[in-house]
Structure 1
Amino acid sequence: MASVAPEVEKKEEEEQVVNPWEVSAGKGGIDYDKLVDQFGCQRLDAPLIDRIARLTGRPPHRFLRRGLFFAHRDLNEILDIYEKGDKFYLYTGRGPSSEALHLGHLVPFMFTKYLQDAFKVPLVIQLTDDEKFLWKNLTVEESKRLARENAKDIIACGFDVERTFIFSDFNFVGGAFYENMVKVARCVTYNKVVGIFGFTPEDHIGKISFPPVQAVPSFPSSFPKHFSGNDQLRCLIPCAIDQDPYFRMTRDVAPRIGYQKPALIESRFFPALQVNVFSEEQWFKALCFTA
């Protein structure tokens, strides 16, 4: 067998794949600096964190202070809006593929609760049971059952019931929501979606048609009962950075169909604790409920 040149071995070890359905890296773990450059987002720096504390009148969340949430898109614009006395809304979600949420799944929800409490803003939570049917070996019925089970864990996080709307795609998609989906779909070419998500000729068309479903909760007109007459309300999305491709696409399309670009605040992944890039002790400190 032919030997492999050292530089080739090094390149293979350093390769990482980060997309909504696959996260993998070499022995060194995820290179987040490389991801920030690759995705074109911005580092969440100390002045921005200090500004959040000043505007909310409370200490920044431990996930901010300890670097678990580390990147953003247009967070400064959301803070500008809030400082002027205007509101925004939050959007996050869960792809239900297991009975219960583990700590990694809970990170965005724990942080979203802090944002809702600190800024006193509405929140929509999308359960993408349709996505899990398309990507996993699950029936429609099982995907919907897992969505209901996951919703119980999400509700237990303690969100403001007067300001929170949780929905399943299988039960909710239609009407104004679907109108926005087809507007997005018409703006994204096949070549574009392949470039963003890496779809192959072997992928079925259900996967290729899914991204608009996750995009349109970023637009308040998708929820006419909750945001009637406020189609330009800005949206802030707390999520793990693997979800960024969905919203790069969304941000590209939004001005073309008359909507505001969503802003994002993005977290690291919750790795296996034996991975030594963010040590077990650091993860414990980041997640513990002490100040």
Structure 2
Amino acid sequence: MTDIDPWGDVEVADYAATMAQFGIEPIESVADRLPDNRLVRRGIVFGQRDLETVLDARDRGDPFAVMTGLMPSGVFHFGHLAVLEQVRMFQEMGAEVTLCAADIEAYATRDIPIEDARELVVEEYLLNYVALGLDLDATDFYFQSEAGNDHLVRSKLFSRYVTQNEFEATYGTADPGKLASSLTQYADILRPQAPENGGPKPTVVPVGIDQDPHVRLTRDVASRYRETAYLKPASTYHRFMRGLQGGKMSSSDPRSHIALTDGVSEAKRKIDAAKTGGRASVAEHREKGGVVEEDMVFELLAFHLVRDDDELERIRREYESGAMLSGELKQIAKDRLETFLRKHHEKREAARPEVEQYLAERESANAGFEVGT
């Protein structure tokens, strides 16, 4: 079994085997210490590493943090929601929030111009984040390209604490773009613990399993770096939401996802075209029932559109028994999606003045710091 490429198209067939390979613990071991959360209850958030350090700090009343990054390489879709919902959960628990816009990484590994990346950050991420409840005023938001000299210098100092063999064993190659991007990410993950941000504190990073290589090497850097007594970052892991056609959901394939900026009619068309677990005929479906494990519409309901567990179980039971047809399941999804999108689009526009003012204040504070492309 090989390591995971955080820049590749990752699909995980066996989460248990992946957890065992990389030392990830089941979330159930700490679930009773977390707020009641749909993603945890349903096993969508399935794993954690050292989350006890964050929960212990919370219980003691000590500072703790949650850190996440966003890759501005495409639209913000339902597959991205699991990270944001976890960030909100930790923010509501009292965590300091750090949010990094990875414009340098997008430039170095995805060939996206810095200015294009910044535009995507605002239109596809910040507006959606605020509309979905993130408190931007209580968040340390920054672009990698404007992270400040201390941050960027720190990322270079970290190079002393990772060997070429470790890097190649983790990422496959020591390609210069990947090397620069990864060292910058280590500084991003440890940013909440930097001296200018209050020093070492327990920090959790919610990620998909594809980003675990970055987390593991950051933990190694934290344990080896002597100038600051960093704590190894904790992490949580969520399952990938599959694409509407089955397989991987991708920002570059509009058929595979529903973006939070999609119009209602477009979103409904995508539901109609989605892969289902229905049978070849109505008669066969009535007799044998649908297969929820193969139904991408049910997965969308289970991840995000049906919040009540009892209601979701009723839908599952009726679909598996054959009492509910695929068309009826799709209609439930379309109705829920229409309600969600209409409300969300209103919240996005309401959030725009707040986001524009926030960015204008940042631009004024950062005047004179520019990065050439």
Aligned length: 257
Show the 5 A alignment for 1:1-291: 18-25=4-11, 30-45=13-28, 47-53=29-35, 60-98=36-74, 100-117=75-92, 119-149=93-123, 150-172=125-147, 174-199=148-173, 203=175, 205-219=176-190, 220-222=192-194, 224=196, 227=197, 230-257=198-225, 258-273=229-244, 274=246, 279-280=295-296, 281-288=298-305, 290-291=307-308
Q: Deviations over 1:248-281 (max 9, x none)?
A: 0010110221211110011111112435757432
Shift of 1:223: 7.0
Work out whether residues 177 and 223 of structure 1, in 8 Å CA contact, stay in contact via their aligned partners in 2.
no
Q: Could you list the per-position Cα deviations for residues 162-183 of structure 1 after superposition, in whole angstroms to 9, with x for gaps in the alignment?
A: 42122111222x3221232122
Q: For 1:143 and 1:185, how far apart are their aligned partners in 2? A: 26
Query: 1:137 and 1:249, CA in 2 relative to 1: closer, same or farther beyond 3 A?
Result: same
Q: Which SS does the other structure have where 2:34 is aligned? A: helix
AA at the equivalent of 1:177: H
Residues 24 and 266 from structure 1, CA distance in 2 versus in 1: closer, same or farther, beyond 3 angstroms? closer
Instruction: Answer 1 or 2: which has greater helix percent.
Output: 2
Alpha-carbon spacing, 1:278–1:96, altered in 2? closer, same or farther (3 Å) = farther
**Closer/same/farther in 2, CA of residues 176 and 278 from structure 1, 3 Å limit:** farther
Q: Deviations over 1:83-115 (max 9, x none)?
A: 1221201101110001x3000122201221122
Measured in 1, the distance between the counterparts of 2:107 and 2:293 equals: 33
Give me the TM-score of the superposition, normalised by structure 2: 0.64
More strand by share: 1
Paired residues of 1:147 and 1:168 also in contact (CA < 8 A): no
Alpha-carbon distance in structure 2 between the residues aligned to 1:197 and 1:272: 25
Contact 2:65 2:96 in 1 (8 A): yes
Gap runs ≥5 in structure 1: 1-14, 54-59
Shift of 1:16: 8.1
| Deviation (angstroms), 1:218 | 2.9
Secondary structure of 1:215's partner?
helix
CA contact (8 A) 1:177 1:221 kept: no
Q: 1:221 to 1:75 in 2, by over 3 A?
A: closer
* Separation of aligned partners in 2, 1:109 and 1:223: 26
**3-state DSSP class of the match of 1:167?**
strand
Aligned residue for 2:65, secondary structure, equals strand
Q: Which has the higher contact order (CA 8 A, sep 6+)?
A: 1
Deviation of 1:210 (Å): 1.5
Q: Who wins on radius of gyration, i.e. which is larger?
A: 2
Structure 2: which amino acid aligns with 1:216? A
Q: Which runs of 4+ in 1 moved over 6 A?
A: none
**Would you say the 8 A contact 1:104–1:270 is kept in 2?**
yes
Measured on the aligned residues, the alpha-carbon RMSD in Å equals 2.2
Deviation, 1:141, is 2.4
